[in-house]
Structure 1
Amino acid sequence: MLQKVASVALICATLAIAACNTVHGAAADVNSVANCTENTINGGKC
């Protein structure tokens, strides 16, 4: 029983870490697009 609980906890922790990295990467992508758009509006280049 303890082994099953530990396995489930480890799987959940792994998925949570992967999700955080994915969200962080998506936020960085959105931020990059926003910066590029702002630069273009102000006459600059991406």
Structure 2
Amino acid sequence: MRLHDWLALHSPDLADSHWECGQFVTRCLVCSKRMVKLPGQPWRVPARST
């Protein structure tokens, strides 16, 4: 596990975010992992992310 993942320092790419299946979806600018956000909630990396 990389330090970036361990400290959860993911930064969403807001310019590339889009609406998909009832949530916003984008990628982390640092590691390119998938990030999701429900309306009114913070961005997060799902447990099973590529």
Q: Report which of the two has the higher share of strand.
A: 2
Higher RCO structure, 1 or 2 (CA under 8 Å, sep 6+): 2
TM superposition score normalised by structure 2: 0.15
TM superposition score normalised by structure 1: 0.15
Structure possessing the higher radius of gyration over alpha carbons: 1
